[in-house]
Amino acid sequence: MSDVLAVAPLTRPVDATVRPPGSKSITNRALLCAALADGTSTLSGVLFADDTRAMMSAVGALGATVTLFESDRTVVVRGIDPGTAGGAGTIDARQSGTTSRFLLPAAALLGGRTVVDGSEQLRARPFGPVLGALRQIGAGVEELDRPGFLPAAVTGPAHGGPVEVSGHISSQFLSGLLMAGPLMDRGIDVTLTSPLVSVPYVEMTKAVMAAFGVTVTGLTVPAGAYRPADFAIEPDASAASYFLGAAAITGGRVTVSGLGTGSLQGDVRFADVLERMGASVTRTADAVTVRGGDRLRGIDVDMADISDTAQTLAAVAVFADGPTRVRGIGFIRGKETDRVGAVVTELRRAGIDAVEDPDGFTIHPGAPRPTRFATYDDHRMAMSLSLIGLRAHGIEIADPGCVAKTYPAYFTDLATLG
Ligand SMILES: O=C(O)C1=C[C@@H](OP(=O)(O)O)[C@@H](O)[C@H](O)C1
Ligand SMILES: C=C(OP(=O)(O)O)C(=O)O
């Protein structure tokens, strides 16, 4: 992909039915549960992107056999018995928060030493809570560079039992501990020491574990075993937010198929946010449809549960008829980039009055001027800011290839809206 991509404004309101690729979050949970199950699982609707390839390689390093049928979006996983496995060498989680935060507790199941590392970007993200938790449950932990950051070495087996972990930085620490829990001698019994962000992702963790035969009660998992499963993965709801946002800002219609009322993903609630702004939303058992109206209202909204869609909303808010205040998302400063700072900086570059708040941002509507947006090696900066180009002239996206983290074909799919 070239270094810069020009977004062509739509000449009429969008009218489309789309099906984004599989959920990153569900794919990476299913890959791990399948790898820890005694037997062979078949995963369908799998996302093939950098984050999930990182997880495929990682569970391969743990000893699972992973066979890809990419054109069928299917992966077959033959799991391991971690109790008999030794350390897994060095695992490169690339840019993937889920892979790294889920792998550290899983590596602690092995009777040996495993190093988890990642890209420079991942090395800048926080890991202290999960490393501290692993020490509490009997794993050896070495921070190989800075305390609280990757690379880190984990030596198991961890025995499990009661453990405390914070919830306000990332829910991924808790999800990782829960998924490794059933394979620890004492199971796991987690107590949160601070309020949990991204709550729906923990519900998703429990749902995927249940599909592989493990029941979580509260934050307690008894010792037990995963069962192999045939498991279908729904389209990615965070990816869907860009298409739903496109419907809202162009006064058009987008239906996302495969994302129904029974979705495991909290981010489907982005449609509720658009509804509050004045879009009309239809939800069925297997699809969600957003229709934009003549006008969009600015709103005041807490997005702590659905923060991966906060940047999408920032782009949509530019076209509302009053200011939009997003709260509850101070923790997204620790994601691929400082997402609060980055989105405000870029909107201001386009002449939009955007203001950084300690826990989020406020976007005032305006007419964006021709702008080349920087994307900070953050796939969601690139995907979100591209929406502005559907309505405004002269919008360019720098380093569009960064979308490969979760959605390699994003710009091809976006072009089909025209
Ligand atoms: O568990 C998951 O799959 C995820 C949880 C969220 O992270 P935090 O819990 O760090 O907010 C989300 O932003 C990320 O894209 C995926
Ligand atoms: C924050 C994200 O990913 P992760 O934490 O899994 O790297 C994301 O996909 O927006």
Q: What is the C-alpha to C-alpha distance for residues 412 and 141, in angstroms, rounded to an integer? A: 43
226: Cβ contacts below 8 Å, ≥ 6 apart: 33, 34, 36, 37, 38, 79, 182, 183, 209, 212, 213, 214
Q: Whose CA is nearest to atom 4 of ligand 2?
A: 97
Q: What is the C-alpha to C-alpha distance for residues 135 and 184, in angstroms, rounded to an integer? A: 14
Per-position pLDDT tens, the chain of length 418: 679 999 999 999 999 999 999 999 999 999 999 999 999 999 999 999 999 999 999 999 999 999 999 999 999 999 999 888 889 899 999 999 999 999 999 999 999 999 999 999 999 999 999 999 999 999 999 999 999 999 999 999 999 999 999 999 999 999 999 999 999 999 999 999 999 999 999 999 999 999 999 999 999 999 999 999 999 999 999 999 999 999 999 999 999 999 999 999 999 999 999 999 999 999 999 999 999 999 999 999 999 999 999 999 999 999 999 999 999 999 999 999 999 999 999 999 999 999 999 999 999 999 999 999 999 999 999 999 999 999 999 999 999 999 999 999 999 999 999 8
The annotated binding site is made up of 24-25, 29, 97, 125, 170-172, 198, 308, 335, 339, 380, 405
125 within ligand 2 shell (Cβ under 6 A): no
288 has which bridge partners?
Answer: 256, 283
Question: Which residue, 328, 281, 275, is CA-closest to 305?
Answer: 328
- Centre of ligand 2 to C-alpha 185, Å, is 31
Kindly identify the ligand whose nearest atom is closest to the C-alpha of 339. 2
- Centre of ligand 1 to C-alpha 239, Å, is 14
220 has which bridge partners?
Answer: 189, 217
Q: What is the C-alpha to C-alpha distance for residues 65 and 5, in angstroms, rounded to an integer? A: 38
The pTM for the full model equals 0.98
DSSP string, 177-211: HHHHGGGSTT-EEEEESSPPSSHHHHHHHHHHHHH
Asked whether the beta carbons of 277 and 320 are under 8 A apart, the reply is yes
Question: Which residue, 42, 6, 7, 47, is CA-closest to 26?
Answer: 47
H-state helical runs in 125-259 = 128-136, 172-180, 199-211, 237-250
Which residues are identified as catalytic?
A: 308
- Centre of ligand 1 to C-alpha 45, Å, is 20
DSSP string, 352-399: --EEEETTEEEE----PPSEEE--TT-HHHHHHHHTHHHHSTTEEEES
Kindly identify the ligand whose nearest atom is closest to the C-alpha of 25. 1
287 has which bridge partners?
Answer: 257
Q: Which domains does the chain have, with CATH numbers?
A: 4-21+235-416 (3.65.10.10), 24-232 (3.65.10.10)
Question: Which residue, 282, 289, 287, 277, is CA-closest to 315?
Answer: 277
306: Cβ contacts below 8 Å, ≥ 6 apart: 200, 266, 267, 269, 270, 273
Structure tokens at 85: 């496995």
CA R_g for the chain: 21
DSSP string, 67-106: EEEGGGTEEEEE---GGG----EEEE-TT-HHHHHHHHHH
Query: Pocket of ligand 2, candidates 335, 338, 383: which has the most ligand atoms within 8 Å of its Cβ, to mutate?
Result: 335
Q: What is the C-alpha to C-alpha distance for residues 403 and 380, in angstroms, rounded to an integer? A: 7
Q: For the chain, give me the number of helices (H) and strands (E)?
A: 14, 22
Ligand 2 atom closest to Cα of residue 332: 1
Asked whether the beta carbons of 3 and 399 are under 8 A apart, the reply is yes
Whether ipTM tops 0.85, in short, is: yes
